[in-house]
Amino acid sequence: MDYKYSELVDKAQEWAQQAESQQLISSELAAKILNLDTRTPADLLENTVERALIVGFFGGTGVGKSSLLNRLAVAEIAKTGVIRPTSHEVTLYHHAQVKLQQLPADLPVAKTQIAQHQNDAYQQLVWIDMPDFDSTESQNKTLVLSWLPHIDVLVYVVSPERYRDKAAWDLFRAEGANHGWIFVLNQWDKGCEAQYQALQQQLSVAEFKQPFIFRTDCSLSQADEFPQFLQTLSQFSSAKTLKKLSQHGLQVKIQHLQQQLTNCVAELNTVANFSQLKTYWQQQWQANAETFTSAFTWKLQQYAAHYAQKDSILTPKPSLDIWDAWAQTHYVNLITDLSLKAHQLKLPNAMFKPRLQTEATPIANIFQQQLELHCRQALIKPGNRLQHIFLAFNRVAEIILPLSAIAVVAYQVFQGFYMSSVGKQEYLSLNFASHSLLLIGISWLLPYFIHKKMQPSVEKSAFKGLQQGLRQGLTLLDEQIQASIQAQEAAQQQVLTELNTWIQHCATAAQSEVIAPENPLTRILTK
């Protein structure tokens, strides 16, 4: 899908707002995208399809910009003078048939003078005389900067004495790719060929290939190149050329947008650093989990002892007892260390604040739930598996052994009675009776004694369950932190993927037809 520049800006700004809200990119980078200049020269005119070429006169104090405009208009429409600064306002000069839009609110309308003419030769040209950029008045610079986005071609006016002015030249270098440029070496009657060649060399360094440089003399004391200057501007005002110039301007803006988005890649392309952060956390947590376990042991013993008492109900309050102020402080310190480590790894360290739980009560609830759950489970069936097996066997023995002993004694009684009745032996004696009772008692008492001795300790079982609950609580806390890191990593990866998508869209949209070498446009645009 192909996107227009305005659509690309909207999507990029939407992305920047999201990335900044998640603190994935710095406010400085976000601001550069959110404050992108979308103004165009077409904003000044009602007819944006077959519109006029907007030309701005730009230059330092005393180089004769206003004199050039007056010469073009054959009238005194722009203020001239020799005192710095010569002008505090903008003069806009256009054909009466050219309909201007209501000037945008960002423009200093109060400092704008508008004049009209009826010369059909200039019908497709709108002239703007801007204040002296290098004047001592700071408001002049503000005026110039506010009008620049609304200009197609900047006429950079210099004089033999002032073609190296730093202030104007710095602006030219900054705005060089955003406009078409034509250069006028005014007051040529005071100049020489060496100065002309020096200006050519200066423009060559600024990446202009065969720039248009017209030598003019507003005193009209000698023939100059003013007619050629006007002819060249008229040539660029044709619909076909103006369309290509506008396309170039949008292409430059899109490339600028693409560069701003590309600058964000470095801050987001830190996915590998998340692995280091995870490793760091695992090392820290392993050491500190043992610290938490040791610190809570004595409290768990107290709870276990309370469970061992008959008819007692444990109602722990972890926010006050298990997860106390010391535990909360220690945990917050761990999160702070993790945030600092993230900052060192150039990850958004503030991401842990909204994602990680640092309030004491929710963390305490985690431990309360796990302690109660595992303690109850431990007390439902105390002891270990071996104890359970042995006790089950012992319960069977408690029944089998006494019954077996009774069966043996009964058999001996029956057999003794029978033998005595046939006179073969005497009936059972008192010794037999005492021995039988002793056998039956031992067969019953021995399993009972073993059962009592092997019965699992409620206190030990409760303590073991509480320990398991503590370990589970620490595990859940660790998993919560790891999940937060992974969630942030996934969010950052998603934002990075979206960023690369819009960079690619910008690259596609920035592609345009190559201007043929013989086209005059190549002479007013930087390489």
Q: Could you tell me the pLDDT band of residue 12, with boundaries at 50, 70 and 90?
A: very high
Q: Are residues 395 and 360 in the same domain?
A: no
| pLDDT greater than 90 at residue 431 | no
pLDDT value of position 387 = 66
Q: For residues 370 and 465, what is the distance between their CA atoms, to the nearest angstrom? A: 10
pLDDT value of position 456 = 65
Q: Is residue 47 part of a domain?
A: no
Q: Are residues 273 and 411 in the same domain?
A: no
The whole domain housing 322 covers 1-40+254-383+456-527
Residue 434 vs residues 288, 369, 428, 431, 438: alpha-carbon distances, Å: 66, 58, 11, 5, 6
Place of tokens 């506010």: 146
Domain count, the chain: 3
Looking at 236, 271, 291, the residue that finishes a domain is 236
Q: Are residues 270 and 200 in the same domain?
A: no
The CATH number of the domain holding residue 114 is: 3.40.50.300
Looking at 184, 203, 236, the residue that finishes a domain is 236
pLDDT value of position 82 = 41
pLDDT digits (tens, 9 = 90+) for 217-253: 866 556 788 889 988 988 888 888 888 888 888 888 8
pLDDT value of position 83 = 40
Which of 495 and 66 is assigned the larger pLDDT?
A: 495
Q: Are residues 167 and 177 in the same domain?
A: yes
Q: Is residue 243 part of a domain?
A: no
Q: Is residue 244 part of a domain?
A: no
Amino acid at 411: Y
pLDDT value of position 352 = 54
Q: Are residues 307 and 174 in the same domain?
A: no
Looking at 454, 479, 507, the residue that finishes a domain is 454
pLDDT value of position 317 = 40
Q: Is residue 152 part of a domain?
A: yes
Q: Are residues 58 and 190 in the same domain?
A: yes
pLDDT value of position 222 = 60
The answer to whether residues 494 and 357 touch, using CB atoms and an 8 Å cutoff, is: no
Mean pLDDT of the chain: 80
pLDDT value of position 1 = 47
Q: Could you tell me the pLDDT band of residue 426, with boundaries at 50, 70 and 90?
A: low
Q: Are residues 202 and 84 in the same domain?
A: yes
| pLDDT greater than 90 at residue 283 | yes
Mean pLDDT of 139-143: 75
| pLDDT greater than 90 at residue 490 | no
pLDDT value of position 423 = 64
Q: For residues 29 and 195, what is the distance between their CA atoms, to the nearest angstrom? A: 42
Q: For residues 271 and 388, what is the distance between their CA atoms, to the nearest angstrom? A: 51
| Chain Cα centroid distance, residue 355 | 14
pLDDT value of position 356 = 58
Choose the weakest-confidence range: 70-79, 232-241, 268-277, 280-289. 70-79
pLDDT value of position 314 = 47
pLDDT value of position 350 = 55
The answer to whether residues 5 and 253 touch, using CB atoms and an 8 Å cutoff, is: yes
State both tokens at 384: 């270990």
Q: Could you tell me the pLDDT band of residue 349, with boundaries at 50, 70 and 90?
A: low
Place of tokens 């610190």: 295
Rounded to the nearest 10°, the torsion over CA 346, 349, 354, 360 is 150
Residues with Cβ within 8 Å of 526's Cβ and at least 6 positions away in sequence, in order, are 176, 177, 181, 206, 207, 208
155: three-class secondary structure by DSSP = strand
Ramachandran area for residue 95 (φ above 0: left; ψ -120 to 50: alpha; else beta): beta
Mean pLDDT of 250-260: 89
Q: Could you tell me the pLDDT band of residue 153, with boundaries at 50, 70 and 90?
A: very high
| Chain Cα centroid distance, residue 270 | 11
pLDDT value of position 135 = 57
Choose the weakest-confidence range: 38-47, 55-64, 451-460. 451-460
Q: Are residues 272 and 326 in the same domain?
A: yes
Within a 10 A sphere around the Cβ of 380, how many other Cβ atoms? 9
Q: For residues 37 and 31, what is the distance between their CA atoms, to the nearest angstrom? A: 12
Q: Are residues 315 and 199 in the same domain?
A: no
Q: For residues 501 and 485, what is the distance between their CA atoms, to the nearest angstrom? A: 24
Packing angle, helices 239-268 and 458-510, rounded to 10: 160
pLDDT digits (tens, 9 = 90+) for 90-108: 888 888 888 888 777 777 7
Q: Is residue 245 part of a domain?
A: no
Amino acid at 218: C
Q: Is residue 242 part of a domain?
A: no
Rounded to the nearest 10°, the torsion over CA 278, 282, 283, 287 is 150
Residue 495 vs residues 15, 16, 352, 514: alpha-carbon distances, Å: 8, 10, 17, 33
Q: Is residue 401 part of a domain?
A: yes
Q: Are residues 201 and 283 in the same domain?
A: no
Q: For residues 383 and 456, what is the distance between their CA atoms, to the nearest angstrom? A: 5
| pLDDT greater than 90 at residue 164 | no
Q: Could you tell me the pLDDT band of residue 9, with boundaries at 50, 70 and 90?
A: very high
pLDDT value of position 499 = 92
pLDDT value of position 85 = 41
Mean pLDDT of 497-526: 83
Q: Are residues 461 and 440 in the same domain?
A: no
The answer to whether residues 340 and 268 touch, using CB atoms and an 8 Å cutoff, is: no
Q: Is residue 241 part of a domain?
A: no
Residue 236 vs residues 32, 122, 239: alpha-carbon distances, Å: 32, 12, 8
Percentage of the chain exceeding pLDDT 70: 83
The answer to whether residues 141 and 133 touch, using CB atoms and an 8 Å cutoff, is: yes
| pLDDT greater than 80 at residue 202 | yes
Q: Could you tell me the pLDDT band of residue 511, with boundaries at 50, 70 and 90?
A: confident
- For β-strands 90-95 and 125-129, DSSP reports them as antiparallel
Q: Are residues 2 and 75 in the same domain?
A: no
- For β-strands 125-129 and 53-59, DSSP reports them as parallel
Mean pLDDT of 411-434: 70
pLDDT value of position 455 = 63
| pLDDT greater than 80 at residue 334 | yes
Residues with Cβ within 8 Å of 465's Cβ and at least 6 positions away in sequence, in order, are 374, 375, 376, 377, 378, 379
Residues with Cβ within 8 Å of 274's Cβ and at least 6 positions away in sequence, in order, are 347, 485, 488, 489, 492
Percentage of the chain exceeding pLDDT 90: 13
